[in-house]
């Protein structure tokens, strides 16, 4: 039985094979973890859809596979192996006629499109050119790798991304780009002992691709306001001990900010939307993604229906998502459906930033470090706790007036927090 990478959501189009948990020849029971798959949303273990014996691994570790793409084959009892089914031959040659199962010599097998099948690479060949996966071609093109010089480690000698990366690391199999200087020009310096190449992890590569997509597909503008959060600090300090004792977790500033964001998004629905080409798609649910740094890279788990939760409820959701993100235990549903993203860059010491919009959302907001400094209040100087809010937004969807209206609504709500602000 052919095993395909299942569709896991409309926004997830491909996955990277992280690690095979079963090897060829292993017995696999239905729902047993079969392979680790890395997507731009989350790492997940794919369970086996059937019971049987893993007979073939088609997608190698590190290879990018589109959703629905073939990754393996499992022999199921009572089912004839796919490899044993003879392919139809439109016009068999007389010399090729023989008994089933006997090796035919000096016969060129014919591929499904009429091209000769190269048995060394298991790759259809048409007009003398091999076919490679998009991931292999992309990596080879970026580093000017001549694939004819690369030895494949995949099934039947197929070239994988790992093979190409190994060739790059060894500094072999490269060819000059079309715009290279004449042969007499000095050759570029070869990386030496003073350099180190760090291979990209699957999640790092996906983050990079998403950042490029955001920066190139969304025309982004940026704005910032400063907020007096002295009242927020006092309120949080007043409820901190009681909340810790009652809920068993610490309450941070972030739930107060998310509450202000959710209420402001209800008043400014244009910020809770996405670009639809010939229209603007308003989202009816307010699902706020919270960017989190983990050992594997940036994750953005989502608080669904954030506008229906109290500050205490938001605090518990943030704690739960943060804990599971750091332990690599997020589920796919935890990272789907986000309509707006918040990022607490202030925890890293930042006081001002220009974030990239989380494609295909309309905007992203960062909360910066809280700094005490003198400010003018009613013609007098006072020491207050100040924090910057920074927001990037899709200029196709909105202009400065709408963006400023939203960020100032968040500012007003944060500055209105006081001794009577409810937590539950």
Whether residue 35 has pLDDT greater than 50: yes
Q: How far is CA 27 from CA 44, 51, 183, in A?
A: 21, 8, 56
Q: How many domains does the chain have?
A: 3
Phi, psi of 105 (to 5 degrees): -100, 155
Q: What pLDDT is recorded for position 260?
A: 98
Domain membership of residue 193 (yes or no) is no
Domain membership of residue 221 (yes or no) is yes
| Cα separation, 407 vs 390, whole angstroms | 8
Among the residue ranges 144-153, 186-195, 248-257, the one predicted with the least confidence is: 186-195
Whether residue 375 has pLDDT greater than 90: yes
Whether residues 40 and 5 fall in one domain: yes
Whether residue 178 has pLDDT greater than 80: no
User: pLDDT class for 161, splitting at 50, 70, 90?
Assistant: confident
Whether residues 261 and 394 fall in one domain: yes
User: pLDDT class for 185, splitting at 50, 70, 90?
Assistant: low
User: pLDDT class for 79, splitting at 50, 70, 90?
Assistant: low
User: pLDDT class for 109, splitting at 50, 70, 90?
Assistant: very low
For helices 254-267 and 400-415, angle between their N-to-C axes, nearest 10 degrees: 130
Among the listed residues 261, 254, 230, 221, the one whose alpha carbon sits nearest the alpha carbon of residue 407: 261
Whether residue 181 has pLDDT greater than 60: no
Q: What is the dihedral of CA 306, 308, 310, 314, to 10 degrees?
A: -20
State the sign of the Cα–Cα–Cα–Cα dihedral 177, 180, 186, 192.
negative
Domain membership of residue 325 (yes or no) is yes
Q: Check which CATH number belongs to the domain holding 366 and give it.
A: 3.30.559.10
Q: Check which CATH number belongs to the domain holding 67 and give it.
A: 2.40.50.100
Annotated active-site residue 143? The verdict is: no
Per-residue exposure over 120-149, b if at least 16 CB sit within 10 Å of its own CB, e if not: ebebbeeeeeeebbebbeebbeeeebebee
Structure tokens at 202: 């699957």
Q: Are 81 and 52 in contact (CB under 8 A)?
A: no
What is the span of the domain harbouring residue 407? 204-415
Q: What is the pLDDT of residues 314-362, one digit of tens each?
A: 999 999 999 999 888 888 889 889 999 999 999 999 999 999 999 999 9
Structure tokens at 392: 């990037």
Phi, psi of 269 (to 5 degrees): -65, -20
Q: Is 147 helix (H, G, I), strand (E, B) or coil?
A: helix
Whether residues 232 and 280 fall in one domain: yes
Among the listed residues 209, 238, 45, the one whose alpha carbon sits nearest the alpha carbon of residue 138: 209
Domain membership of residue 259 (yes or no) is yes
User: pLDDT class for 97, splitting at 50, 70, 90?
Assistant: very low
Whether residues 172 and 225 fall in one domain: no
Whether residues 408 and 351 fall in one domain: yes
Annotated active-site residue 304? The verdict is: no
Domain membership of residue 186 (yes or no) is no
Q: What pLDDT is recorded for position 330?
A: 86
Q: What pLDDT is recorded for position 74?
A: 92
The mean pLDDT of the chain is 83
Give the angle 57-62-63 at the CA atoms, nearest 5°. 65
Q: Are 265 and 284 in contact (CB under 8 A)?
A: no
User: pLDDT class for 169, splitting at 50, 70, 90?
Assistant: confident
User: pLDDT class for 40, splitting at 50, 70, 90?
Assistant: low
Whether residues 76 and 148 fall in one domain: no
Whether residues 152 and 216 fall in one domain: no
Active-site residue (options: 122, 304, 320, 395): 395
């Amino acid at each position: 039985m052919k095993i395909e990478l299942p569709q896991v959501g409309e926004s997830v189009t491909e996955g990277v094979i992280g690690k095979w948990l079963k090897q060829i020849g292993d017995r696999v029971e239905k729902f047993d973890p079969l392979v680790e798959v890395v997507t731009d949303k989350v790492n997940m273990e794919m369970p086996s859809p059937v019971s049987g014996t893993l007979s073939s691994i088609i997608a190698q570790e590190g290879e990018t596979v589109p959703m629905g793409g073939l990754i393996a084959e499992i022999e199921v009892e009572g089912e004839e192996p796919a490899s044993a089914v003879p392919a139809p031959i439109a016009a068999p040659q007389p010399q090729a006629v023989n008994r089933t199962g006997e090796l035919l010599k000096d016969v060129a097998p014919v591929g499904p499109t009429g091209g000769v099948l190269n048995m060394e690479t298991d790759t259809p060949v048409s007009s003398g050119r091999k076919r490679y996966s998009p991931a292999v071609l992309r990596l080879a093109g970026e580093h000017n790798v001549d694939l004819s010089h690369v030895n494949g480690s995949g099934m039947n000698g197929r070239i994988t991304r790992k093979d190409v990366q190994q060739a790059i690391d060894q500094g072999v199999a490269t060819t000059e780009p079309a715009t290279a200087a004449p042969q007499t020009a000095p050759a570029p310096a070869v990386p030496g002992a003073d350099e180190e190449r760090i291979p990209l992890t699957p999640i790092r590569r996906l983050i990079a691709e998403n950042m490029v997509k955001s920066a190139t597909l969304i025309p982004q503008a940026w704005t910032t306001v400063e907020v007096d959060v002295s009242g927020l600090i006092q309120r949080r300090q007043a409820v901190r001990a009681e909340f810790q004792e009652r809920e068993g977790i610490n309450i941070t500033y972030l739930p107060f900010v998310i509450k202000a964001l959710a209420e402001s998004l209800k008043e400014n629905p244009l910020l809770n939307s996405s670009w639809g080409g010939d229209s603007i798609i308003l989202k009816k649910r307010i699902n706020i993604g919270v960017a989190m740094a983990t050992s594997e890279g940036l994750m953005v788990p989502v608080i669904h229906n954030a506008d229906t939760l109290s500050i205490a409820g938001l605090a518990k959701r943030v704690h739960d998502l943060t804990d599971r993100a750091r332990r690599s235990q997020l589920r796919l549903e935890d990272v789907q459906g986000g309509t707006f993203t918040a990022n607490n860059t202030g925890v890293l010491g930042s006081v001002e930033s220009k974030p990239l919009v989380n494609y295909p959302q309309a905007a992203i907001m960062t909360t910066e470090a809280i700094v005490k400094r003198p400010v003018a209040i009613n013609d007098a100087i006072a020491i207050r706790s100040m924090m910057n809010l920074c927001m990037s937004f899709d200029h196709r969807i909105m202009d400065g007036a709408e963006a400023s209206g939203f960020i100032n609504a968040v500012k007003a709500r944060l500055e209105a927090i006081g001794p009577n602000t409810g937590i539950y």
